[in-house]
Amino acid sequence: MPKDLRATTARARRSRVDAVDRELIQHLQDDGRMSYAALAKAVGLSEAAVRQRVQRLLEGGVMQVVAVTDPMTVNLMRQTMIGIRVDGDTRQVAARLAEVPEVDYVVLCAGSFDVLCELTCADDEQLLELLNSQIRSIPGVRSTETFLYLELVKQTYAWGGGPVERIAAEQ
């Protein structure tokens, strides 16, 4: 994940993403190791054109290609979402949360909580330590509510829009 998420988000908003880019993204969401040759065949462009587009999408912060693991297979047995109520600047609290290595996800939100963060750790003892020493101690954190994950039913990093065939049908 990029260090300066706000700058990356701003770059991504400025990037122009057309129908071919969206199709490339969906193919890579389905198979992040898909070759440029296979992508080129799928979208009807040359391999060089696909390589340039993918590089532009990566450099522009529009997408990332990463290895996703099942935390339990690497002995990270406790996953949680933490709802945080903040006094003061939510961005400052979010930035501090983003520095915690065990935190996978931080989002500013509206509703009952000002910030949500997801963290993954080895066990309840480590969770308690993280909550007390690294999360609740952040200036501006008023209160937290921890939601323990009992069973992972679905996890996807693909955004809406359905299968690649749907994009082709819309063109």
Given pLDDT bands bounded at 50, 70 and 90, which one contains residue 166?
A: very low
d(CA 147, CA 83): 8
Which residue in 73, 129, 69 sits closest to 104, CA to CA?
69
- For the chain, give every residue range classified as CATH 1.10.10.10: 5-67
CATH topology of domain 71-148: Alpha-Beta Plaits (3.30.70)
**Class level of CATH domain 5-67:** mainly alpha
Element (H, E) at 156: none
- For the chain, give every residue range classified as CATH 3.30.70.920: 71-148
Share of the chain above pLDDT 90, in %: 62
Pairing of strands 103-108, 141-148: unpaired
pLDDT in tens, 133-163: 999 999 999 999 999 998 878 877 776 555 4
**Owner of token pair 């609290």:** 93
Check pLDDT > 60 for residue 9: no
d(CA 62, CA 125): 37
The CA distances from residue 127 to 36, 43, 49, 77, 80, in Å, are: 42, 45, 46, 10, 9
Check pLDDT > 60 for residue 86: yes
State whether residue 145 is helix, strand or coil: strand
pLDDT in tens, 34-85: 999 999 999 999 999 999 999 999 999 899 888 777 777 777 789 999 999 9
Q: What is the dihedral of CA 34, 18, 166, 68, to 10 degrees?
A: 40
pLDDT at 64: 87
